[in-house]
Homo-oligomer: A and B are copies of this chain.
Amino acid sequence: MLRLFITAAMLALEPAAFAADATEANKKAVAEFYDLAINQKNFDAAVKFIGPRYVQHNPNAADGPEGLKAFLAFLRDKFPDYHSDIKRVFADGDYVIVHVHSVPVPGARGNAIIDIFKLENGKIVEHWDVRQEIPEKSANSNTMF
């Protein structure tokens, strides 16, 4: 009877613990991917975080890993110093969301970006984002971050 209760307790606990571990691993994978792709512009290193497909919703990038490769080549060519800082990261189930300050050219005010990544088995399979230029003036003093 005691063994039954312990087993029941373990069964009840394990999925939540497993989910929390997977969520933290997903956050770490996205942060590493972001740095390798956007900051280092190193497709060959970043591609190990991509799954069997890469569904792209950014209207400026073509679908699939090849679209990302072309986008990073564009950044390397036109904006070699393009740099992004992840300000906050969230995860919910298979999704990781990052709030990012991107600066295309050193000294520029840059953009606020929020990206959503979907992961399967720890690999990124889908990407959405929204980008807004940081305006010179704001109606409040809190910054966009």
A121 within 8 A of B: no
Q: With A and B bound together, what is the CA distance between A27 and B75 in angstroms?
A: 36
Q: Do B142 and A130 touch (CB < 8 A)?
A: no
A91 within 8 A of B: yes
Number of copies of this kind of chain in the complex: 2
When the two chains form their complex, are residues A140 and B63 in contact, meaning their CB atoms are under 8 A apart?
Answer: yes
A interface majority secondary structure: mixed
Contact of A131 among B61, B97, B130 (CB under 8 A): B130
Chain B residues in 8 Å Cβ range of A91: 92
| A42-91 contacts to B (CB < 8 Å) | 55-63, 67, 88, 90-91
- What count of chain A residues pass the 8 Å CB interface test? 46
A136 to B: closest C-beta gap in Å: 9
Given known pairs A13-B12, A99-B116, A131-B130, the reply for A63 and B144 (CB within 8 Å) is no
Given contacts A90-B90, A90-B95, contact A142 B63 (CB under 8 A): yes
